[in-house]
């Protein structure tokens, strides 16, 4: 039930003292043999040093031995010293694992603007590889070592016909006191070709992590990595590979939403009737980005006027006379205007927790789902506190 469930992988998480105390904060996911790699990175233009380095390695290498991830420090906004620290991390891991630095992918999450304590990382890599060598591998410990404000670790497994996908993730609440970071590593023992694998990962991310709107802002450090060992000997069809990767990614994304900081509810916004799926997703994300809409979710309020207001501000064309809104299947607006409904019954339904908001914006075939959470006073307090 982790990144080590697929054949051909080991993982370890240890306490390198990057965080205070003895919390786990350094993870390695290692392929027994050089693996096919794929990744999706943040679009944030202030991307962190590990993102910049991993992007370069992914473009330049055809095989990957490990992903090294640390929590406790984002190594973002750290300038040339940060770049050197990321490279030193990759080089040290490569030396321990007997490969080239270019075959190592790196990721960090934690405070922005503080230097990565590279001496602690290098010492920790020695400890972690020793544990791996001693057969003390543990996917769970790796999943725990990437946690920041997460209250539980997130792991998953999805099975295809003769092959398996495993995964771990952290986020998508906030790194206290800095920007939200979402990190994930997926592993598979399927036999894959690099460009197909990348395409399948991009599709999986699109309908999972990219459908998740918690803070409405990509972090400096967001990254999703995938490694394929080929150890199952099974080469799935592209469509099946994509489906199983997406199932694993969706499960992780749902776990992230459920553990988002200060959130009391996970809300699914589904948009239908759009010209195409991309338009539907754009509309859904815009609704999910609205603090006003998310505050109404907190109140358990079927405040469809805010939903339509947010929809109208989205970069999407629609005819407001064709808009309908339903909460948990109860239609509250149709053809752009209010319709009668049993308000007390619906409020009682919404009071129970998570719910679904369905927005139809026309007669087109395009639909999409977006996950978000409610905006709570606790979230603001949490993120307003000084570190």
Asked if 364 is part of the footprint of a second copy (rule: CB under 8 A), the reply reads no
Q: 358: which strand partners?
A: 270, 326
Q: Which of 1, 317, 348, 352 binds a second copy (CB under 8 A)?
A: 317
Asked if 239 is part of the footprint of a second copy (rule: CB under 8 A), the reply reads no
Neighbours of 227 (CB within 10 A): 30
The nearest distance, CB 237 to a second copy, in angstroms, is 36
- Between 23 and 339, name the residue whose CB sits nearer to a second copy: 339
Neighbours of 321 (CB within 10 A): 9
Asked if 322 is part of the footprint of a second copy (rule: CB under 8 A), the reply reads no
Q: Indicate if 129 belongs to the active site.
A: no
Q: Residue 288: which of 253, 320, 319 has the closest Cα?
A: 253
Asked if 78 is part of the footprint of a second copy (rule: CB under 8 A), the reply reads yes
- Between 226 and 311, name the residue whose CB sits nearer to a second copy: 311
Asked if 345 is part of the footprint of a second copy (rule: CB under 8 A), the reply reads no
Q: Which of 160, 300, 362, 366 binds a second copy (CB under 8 A)?
A: 300
Asked if 348 is part of the footprint of a second copy (rule: CB under 8 A), the reply reads no
- Between 60 and 338, name the residue whose CB sits nearer to a second copy: 338
Cα(2)–Cα(307) distance, rounded to whole angstroms? 38
With vertex at residue 125, the alpha carbon angle to CA 183 and CA 10, rounded to the nearest 5 degrees, is: 65
Q: What is the 3-state secondary structure (H, E, C) of 288-299?
A: HHCHHHHHHHHC
Asked if 377 is part of the footprint of a second copy (rule: CB under 8 A), the reply reads yes
Asked if 336 is part of the footprint of a second copy (rule: CB under 8 A), the reply reads yes
Stretch that binds a second copy, among 2-10, 64-72, 74-82, 135-143 (CB under 8 A): 74-82
Q: Say if CB 60 and CB 102 are below 8 A apart.
A: yes
Asked if 73 is part of the footprint of a second copy (rule: CB under 8 A), the reply reads no
Q: 11: which strand partners?
A: 29
Q: Report how far apart, in Å, the C-alpha atoms of 332 and of each of 78, 306, 312, 360 are.
A: 50, 12, 17, 12
Catalytic choice (42, 109, 149, 181)? 181
The nearest distance, CB 177 to a second copy, in angstroms, is 6
Asked if 338 is part of the footprint of a second copy (rule: CB under 8 A), the reply reads yes
Stretch that binds a second copy, among 4-12, 183-191, 247-255, 291-299 (CB under 8 A): 291-299
Residues carrying an active site annotation: 181
């Amino acid at each position: 039930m982790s990144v080590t469930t697929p054949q051909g992988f080991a993982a370890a998480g240890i306490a390198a003292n990057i965080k205070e105390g003895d919390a786990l904060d350094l993870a390695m996911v290692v392929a027994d043999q050089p693996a096919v790699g794929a990744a999706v990175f943040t679009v944030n233009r202030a991307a962190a040093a590990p993102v910049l380095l991993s992007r370069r390695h992914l473009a330049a290498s055809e095989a990957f031995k490990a992903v090294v991830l640390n929590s406790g420090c984002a190594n973002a906004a750290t300038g040339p010293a940060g770049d050197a620290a990321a490279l030193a991390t990759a080089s040290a891991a490569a030396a321990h694992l007997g490969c080239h630095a270019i075959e190592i992918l790196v990721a960090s999450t934690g405070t922005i603007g503080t230097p990565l304590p590279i001496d602690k990382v290098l010492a920790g890599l020695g400890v972690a590889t020793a544990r791996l060598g001693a057969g003390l591998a543990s996917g769970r410990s790796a999943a725990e070592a990437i946690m920041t404000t997460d209250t539980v670790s997130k792991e998953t497994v999805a099975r295809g016909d003769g092959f398996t996908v495993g995964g771990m993730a952290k986020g998508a609440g906030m790194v206290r006191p800095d920007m939200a970071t979402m990190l994930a590593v997926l592993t598979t023992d399927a036999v894959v070709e690099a460009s197909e694998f990348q395409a399948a990962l991009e599709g999986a991310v699109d309908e999972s992590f990219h459908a998740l709107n918690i803070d409405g802002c990509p972090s400096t450090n967001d990254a999703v990595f995938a490694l394929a060992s080929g150890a199952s000997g099974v080469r799935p069809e592209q469509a099946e590979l994509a489906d199983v990767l997406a199932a694993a990614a969706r499960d992780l994304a749902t776990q992230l939403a459920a553990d988002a900081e200060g959130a009391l509810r996970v809300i699914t916004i589904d948009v239908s009737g759009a010209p195409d799926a991309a338009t539907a997703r754009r509309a859904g994300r815009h609704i999910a980005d609205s603090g006003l809409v998310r505050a109404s979710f907190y109140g358990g309020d079927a405040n469809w006027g805010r939903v339509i207001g947010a929809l109208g501000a989205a970069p999407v064309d629609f005819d407001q006379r064709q808009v309908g809104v339903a909460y948990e299947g109860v239609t509250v607006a149709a053809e752009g205007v209010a319709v009668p409904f049993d308000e007390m019954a619906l409020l009682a339904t919404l009071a129970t927790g998570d719910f679904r908001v369905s927005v139809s914006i026309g007669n087109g075939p395009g639909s999409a789902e977006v996950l978000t959470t409610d905006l709570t006073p606790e979230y603001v307090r949490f993120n307003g506190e000084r570190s």
